[in-house]
Amino acid sequence: MTRRWTVAVVALLVAGSATGAATCGEQLGSSLRRVESTRYAIAYRIEPAPIVVGRHFVLELAVCAKDGAPPPQSLRVDAQMPAHRHGMNYRPGVTTVAPGRFRADGLLFHMPGQWEFVFDVGANGKTERLSSPIDIE
């Protein structure tokens, strides 16, 4: 009987973590953007949307660990324009809202074009970088 319970618990854990990436961020509501790596899924919402050149905006983020990855302990957010080889003129501040939930304040895109959000997820002394392109008109 103990072996059956162990198999059932393991099956539930595997099923839960397999769907975890798909449901990551659903507590943030609608209009979510997503980016994934082999170890993490990030869902984020832009406030206010859409982004307006020259106006500050905020990102509400959920970072979810995939199978076998440690839970996220920290998050750094930045943005860059790969074609122009420069980033933002402002450094955003990131605060932890709850385990796996973050808020990045003080972002501002000073010109239109192809930007890329850069997310550095920290856990157990290691950092994993994810990026997500966004076009700003």
* Rounded-to-integer distance, Cα 109 and Cα 116, Å: 11
Cα dihedral: 133, 64, 26, 30 (round 10)? -10
Q: CATH 3.40.640.10: does it fit domain 2-136?
A: no
Q: What is the DSSP letter of 125?
A: T
Q: What is the pLDDT of residue 20?
A: 65
Cα gap 57→52, rounded to integer Å: 8
Provide the H-helix boundaries in 2-113. 2-23
Whether the Cβ atoms of residue 81 and residue 41 lie closer than 8 Å to each other: no
Q: Is the pLDDT reported for residue 3 higher than 70?
A: no
Percent of the chain with pLDDT over 70: 85
The reported pLDDT for the residue numbered 78 is: 97
Predicted confidence at residue 31, as pLDDT, reads 87
Mean pLDDT within 18-26: 74
Quick: pLDDT tens for 44-82: 999 999 999 999 999 999 999 999 999 999 999 999 999
Q: In what order do the strands lie in the sheet with 74-81?
A: 86-87, 74-81, 113-123, 126-136
- pLDDT at residue 21 in the model: 76
CA–CA gap between residue 42 and residue 34 (Å, rounded): 6
Question: Contact, 22 vs 67, CB < 8 A?
Answer: no
Q: What is the mean pLDDT of residues 22-31?
A: 88
Q: Give the residue, 14 or 86, on which the prediction is more confident.
A: 86
Dig out the tokens for 17 from the structure.
Answer: 């973590």
Query: Is the pLDDT confidence value at 22 over 90?
Result: no
pLDDT given for residue 19 in this prediction: 43
pLDDT of residue 2: 47
